[in-house]
Amino acid sequence: MIHLIFLIYNLLITPLWPIIRLILTLTDPKFRSSWKERLTTPERIARLRKEKGAGTPVLWIHAASMGEFEQARPVISEVRRRQMPCLIVVTFMSPSGYEPRKSYPEADLVCYLPVDTLWHVEAFYRELRPATGLISRYEFWPNLLIRSAAAGIPLILMNGSLKAEHPYGTWYASWFYKPLFGRYSRILTVSDHHTAMYRAFLGQDAPVTTAGDTRYDQVLARAESTDADMEFLRDPTRLTLILGSAWPADLTLWLSAIRALPASLRERLRLWVVPHEIHPGEEKQVTAVWPETTLSLWSAGPDPAATVLWVDVMGRLMKLYGLGDAAYVGGGFGVHIHNILEPAVWGIPVSHGPRYSKSPEAMDMQRNGLTTVISTPADATVWLTRLLEDPAFRQTTGTATRDFILNYRGSTTRIVDVLRDMR
């Protein structure tokens, strides 16, 4: 079947690439820029090989975009910490991942992955000659996967996860996806639940094992780095609720919920809003709905006495979660929720909207009864009331959430051990 996929893909699909490239070149400035750099990948690899020594083993790490790279970062750092004798080459498919990380200091080279035509992939493997390839989370490019075996390159999929409604095992898709997944030498999943799903899809003898999710290690490491300059914002006399990565739908819901609270509870509440996108003047809707509040803008100097702190700068959310008493993670009324691990690592109660199926960690936490799903303003009012009236509930829930995160640490070590043993 793998040979049939190879023929169909290269005879019917990849010949369309020149047309696709022309359209994208004419319509997408980011693609035009990335295409020029993508063409230089083999040349840059050859230069690295010449400078660093052709015989040095190469660990190739591929991330589709920024999110996948962030999952691979702890592995890169651990490889460097152990001083494993190898060159690290990181590839990206997306400009949104490549541009911010093209000078990443722990990699010997950061470059674009070539497009998945047979000749581009062959040139890439011929120059790179990696000892091992580590794919972060997922990658389905047929030539990249199929030709890895011919090139003698063991591929490892790390942070593997499957959605409950994944199409890969269906009658119309399994003929294509199952052989491609079979090209991986090892599949390292984020949890036993996902290991069982992979084995149900690929067979019980498939090389699938649970290694854990590197994001847990990463978020624990970030939480250990405190910011003493923000400690003045703490207020133990009031409950601080943080709306993290909040979208307009999230804010509208929470303002309705807060308005429904009795005044005696509202006066014991602080609200910190960290919007997903910053739009000047958007904070005015808070005072329109909650007129008795005092509003502080971060850019003007955060006031710990204010009822509402509107964070109109980027890069503060993770540390603010550490100063809060409870958190709501935004995005659950759009495509999917944002990072739920960032508040959970601080040991505080966490809630989110109804669309969270694309987040394996949110699914795991919900299965363990550790998060609250907020679908309506009434849901939010009930949860917030309990947080305000029941400190023991806050403590118990927060401790259980923190323990859940701690239970998943160690995935980075397990993944790097696999890399070591495959060399």
pLDDT at 379: 98
Same domain flag for 325 and 207 = no
Q: What angle do CA 5, 211, 140 make, to 5 degrees?
A: 20
Same domain flag for 140 and 250 = no
Q: How far is the CA of 173 from the CAs of 8, 167, 176, 201, in angstroms?
A: 14, 6, 6, 12
Same domain flag for 208 and 235 = no
Decide if 128 contacts 46 (C-beta within 8 A): no
Same domain flag for 147 and 123 = yes
Same domain flag for 261 and 401 = yes
Same domain flag for 291 and 194 = no
Residues in the chain: 423
Structurally, how many domains does the chain consist of? 2
CATH code, domain carrying 333: 3.40.50.2000
Same domain flag for 198 and 329 = no
Same domain flag for 37 and 152 = yes
CATH code, domain carrying 28: 3.40.50.11720
Domain that includes residue 136, residue range: 2-213+410-422
Same domain flag for 339 and 392 = yes
If phi > 0 it is left, if psi is from -120 to 50 it is alpha, else beta; for residue 410 that is left
The pair of structure tokens assigned to 243 is 């709306």
Decide if 291 contacts 414 (C-beta within 8 A): no
The pair of structure tokens assigned to 358 is 């694309």
Those residues of the chain that have pLDDT short of 70 are 226-228
pLDDT in tens, 27-86: 888 888 888 889 899 999 999 999 988 789 999 999 999 889 999 999 999 999 999 999
pLDDT at 226: 64
Q: What is the DSSP string of 96-128?
A: HHHHHHTT-TTSSEEEEPPPS-HHHHHHHHHHH
Number of DSSP helices (H) and strands (E) in the chain, helices first: 20, 14
If phi > 0 it is left, if psi is from -120 to 50 it is alpha, else beta; for residue 329 that is beta
Same domain flag for 418 and 397 = no
C-alpha–C-alpha distance, residues 61 and 108, integer Å:
11
Same domain flag for 295 and 367 = yes
C-alpha–C-alpha distance, residues 41 and 91, integer Å:
9
C-alpha–C-alpha distance, residues 266 and 258, integer Å:
7
Same domain flag for 346 and 415 = no
